[in-house]
């Protein structure tokens, strides 16, 4: 079957492998939305790990043990899937993305992002009398464990998962704005918390913008690391 090159409704040129028109959203002929299907399957696998982690906590497993399990399992699933679908992510790891000034601006912006997010979370906790501790379950295991599991590991596998695999797959079939929003919403929902949804959705959009703007995975990884490390420092000191 010969694919349409321009939308019959608004005449916008279809992007390569796109299943929908970027101008009006009309579906392109009989193109299969494989990118969307892949993103859904992969996300459900990640969500299953998170649900299992919640079950472990509910049945008495120590929080640190459960979080360590979740980190390892999420990373394993992500790296295995990335190995199979490496074409989605390899090009973005071959580019530095920004120069020193760009990474410097990310560093400068990090305290602002942290203040806005942590300020909102603490205000919400105070307003509703909710006990909130970002490092609950970690405090008895030393700073290296906290930095490794909170600040270092998530920027590596979560960026690969959401700004790499999920966003990369969705961007093949959907408009960029849709891929931005859906991948960021999925990132926020994976934390299985309403406060996290309200904070991690804009954070995900910011990280996704860095990924798209730079054409590289490294700026979003760096911003994610700066954010998480800042949260660790704020909670510890």
Domains of the chain, residue spans: 1-31, 34-236
Average pLDDT over residues 83-98: 94
165-207-234-146 Cα dihedral, nearest 10 degrees: 20
Q: Cα separations (Å) of 154 from 10, 68, 110, 113, 201?
A: 42, 11, 16, 17, 16
* Global pTM value: 0.83
Check residue 31 and give its pLDDT.
46
Check residue 177 and give its pLDDT.
86
Q: Indicate the pLDDT class of residue 30, thresholds 50, 70 and 90.
A: very low
The residue whose two tokens read 């700026």 is 219
Q: Indicate the pLDDT class of residue 151, thresholds 50, 70 and 90.
A: very high
- The tokens describing 125, both together, are 């906790």
Average pLDDT over residues 30-37: 68
For the stretch 39-55, pLDDT in tens is: 999 999 999 999 999 99
- The Cβ of residue 142 has, within 10 Å, a number of other Cβ atoms equal to 10
Largest interatomic CA distance in the chain: 63
Q: Work out the mean pLDDT of the chain and round it to a whole number.
A: 85
CA angle 164, 79, 176 (to 5 degrees): 15
Query: Which position has the higher pLDDT, 233 or 29?
Result: 233
Do 172 and 28 touch, CB atoms closer than 8 A? no
Check residue 78 and give its pLDDT.
98
- In angstroms and rounded to an integer, the radius of gyration of the C-alpha atoms of the chain is 19
Q: How many Å from the N-terminal Cα to the C-terminal Cα in the chain?
A: 63
Query: Which position has the higher pLDDT, 69 or 13?
Result: 69
For the stretch 115-128, pLDDT in tens is: 888 777 777 777 77
Check residue 2 and give its pLDDT.
47
Does residue 24 register a pLDDT over 70? no
Check residue 188 and give its pLDDT.
92
Do 70 and 53 touch, CB atoms closer than 8 A? yes
CA angle 212, 218, 223 (to 5 degrees): 85
DSSP strand E in 77-220: where?
none
Residues 6 or more apart from 42 whose CB is under 8 A from it?
81, 161, 165, 166, 169
């Amino acid at each position: 079957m010969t694919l349409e090159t321009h939308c019959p409704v608004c005449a916008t040129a279809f992007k390569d492998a796109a299943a929908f028109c970027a101008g009006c959203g009309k579906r392109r002929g009989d193109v299969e939305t494989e990118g969307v299907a892949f993103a859904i399957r992969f996300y459900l696998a990640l969500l299953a790990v998170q649900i299992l982690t919640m079950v472990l906590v509910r049945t008495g497993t120590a929080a640190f043990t459960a979080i360590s399990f979740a980190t390892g399992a999420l990373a394993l699933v992500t790296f295995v899937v990335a190995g199979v679908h490496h074409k989605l992510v390899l090009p973005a790891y071959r580019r530095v993305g920004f120069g020193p000034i760009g990474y410097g601006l990310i560093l400068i912006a990090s305290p602002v992002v942290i203040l806005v997010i942590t300020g909102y979370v603490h205000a919400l906790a105070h307003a509703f009398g909710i006990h909130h501790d970002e490092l609950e379950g970690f405090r008895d295991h030393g700073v290296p464990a906290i930095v490794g599991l909170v600040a270092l590991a998530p920027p590596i596998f979560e960026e690969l998962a959401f700004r790499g695999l999920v966003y990369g797959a969705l961007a093949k079939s959907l408009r960029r704005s849709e891929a931005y929003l859906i991948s960021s919403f999925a990132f926020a929902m994976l934390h299985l918390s309403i406060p996290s949804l309200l904070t991690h959705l804009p954070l995900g959009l910011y990280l996704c913008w860095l990924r798209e703007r730079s054409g590289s995975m490294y700026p979003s990884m760096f911003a994610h690391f700066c954010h998480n490390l800042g949260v660790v420092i704020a909670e510890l000191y």
